[in-house]
Structure formats: C-alpha cells, structure tokens
Amino acid sequence: MKVVAFERSVQGTGASRRLRNSGKTPGIIYGGQNTPQVVELDHNALFHALRKEAFHSSILEIEIGGKTQKALLRDYQMHPFKPLVLHIDFQRVSATEKIHMRIPLHFTRAEESVAIKLGGAVISHIANDLEITCLPADLPEFIEVDLSKIEVGHSIHAKDVALPKGVTLVLHIEQENPVLANARIPTVKAEPETVVAVATEAAPAAADAAKDKDKDKDAKA
C-alpha cells in the first residue's frame, strides 16, 4: 500500500496540537541506517487507511518529497473518545533483514466441517492473529486457517496451520502451541422446575387466603 507523507519541521506539544487542528496527524519513521524522520500525514486519508486490514500487516511504501521508502506500521494512538488519530509510528524495513509481525487469521470452510454438518457444533475463534517472522518480500497479508476437517471436541492449533513459503511461526514458552479455534456442542440449560412447583403451590395458598377473608367479612356482617 502507498502512503503519502510530508516532512515536518516543527515539533513539540503546541506544534502537534496546531497540526491536528489543521487536519494533519504527526508521525515518525525510524529504523534502518537512517536517523528518525518526523512527518505529517493527512488525517482523513490516514483514518480510513487504518480501517483496512492490509494497512496493519503489509509492507507500506511511504512517499516523502518524491522519494519512497518501505516501512511497517508499528504503533498509533487514538483519542480516548473522538475519531481522531493523535500520532503514528512507522518502522523502516530492509529487504535482507527478517521482520517480526502479528498477521491476522482468516478462518475458512467451517461450513464444510463434520463438526457443523453432522455434529451441530459451534466453532469458536480463540485467536485472531499469529506472530511470524520472515523477509519483507515473503510477508503475507493474512494467514488462512482451514476449518473443513475440524471435528466435535477437537481444536486447531498454531502448528496445524500451513504457513506460506518463507514464513516461520514464532512461539513462546508460555504458549508452545496455542489454540486458534475449537468445535463444541452448545450447552442448553433446562428450565428450573422449582420455579414451576413454587408457582403451582402458591396458587392454592392464595385461593385459600381469599376464602378466609370472605368468611371473616360474612361473620362480621
């Protein structure tokens, strides 16, 4: 994806506030052999770009003053309650150096699984992304998780997923093979019988109390 940015000469809290008031978003590009570069971007274009999945998991081509550099989105800050991007960070990438990224998962073919077609199961998505490492040229926009063979009571783990060429899964000690999705039969809770019983017993009691009141009235009369 292509991103157009402009050099920013003025820094500081006041300058950033004036920048936002003019419809711009301050940002920075860091990493590589070059020094960090402060930039500004059109806020509305950036806001809409952030809503696209590919913007978060693709190599971006950032154009500044007619020159282009490749970078990844690394962080951004939003206003606590306004639809306003306060700041954004990009990291330069090198074609020869591997990068670490969290890539979104796309779950497919669930409707073809035995768990759903014959078992009446519900498939739950436990994870939304995977951490991977690869060269920039091999970076996938997303990773597909095929659910067509999942069975009732079974799970799909990270190591079960077929990764694209050149992509390596990054796992941590606390989660050596995390669950990505599972298939379970939904639990149906029975109606509590005690409520019905109490209601049934309460009705005659109320009727008897009404009769006693009528008798008292007749006796006084």
Residues 52 and 121 in one domain: no
Task: Kindly report the number of other CB atoms within 10 A of residue 66's CB atom.
Answer: 5
Residues 111 and 134 in one domain: yes
- pLDDT for res 118: 85
* Beta pairing class for 37-42 and 67-78: unpaired
Residues 197 and 180 in one domain: no
- pLDDT for res 13: 83
66: left (phi over 0), alpha (psi -120 to 50) or beta: left
Residues 23 and 82 in one domain: yes
Q: What is the mean pLDDT of each run of 10 residues along the chain (221 residues)?
A: 89 85 94 88 96 94 94 96 95 94 95 89 94 95 95 94 95 86 81 53 53 53 49
- pLDDT for res 207: 53
Side by side, the strands of the sheet bearing 143-146 are: 143-146, 99-108, 129-134, 168-169
Instruction: In whole angstroms, give the CA distance from residue 150 to residue 117.
Output: 11
For residue 178, give the nearest of 124, 112, 130 by alpha carbon.
130
- pLDDT for res 132: 96
- pLDDT for res 211: 55
- pLDDT for res 34: 80
- Domains of the chain: total: 3
Does an H or E element contain 92, and which? strand 85-92
- Domain ranges, residue 203: 191-221
- pLDDT for res 178: 93
- pLDDT for res 143: 96
Residues 105 and 55 in one domain: no
- pLDDT for res 9: 78
Predicted model pTM: 0.76
Residues 123 and 178 in one domain: yes
Residues 77 and 106 in one domain: no
Residues 86 and 115 in one domain: no
Residues 179 and 196 in one domain: no
CATH code for position 117: 2.170.120.20
Structural contact between residues 125 and 108, judged by C-beta atoms closer than 8 angstroms? no
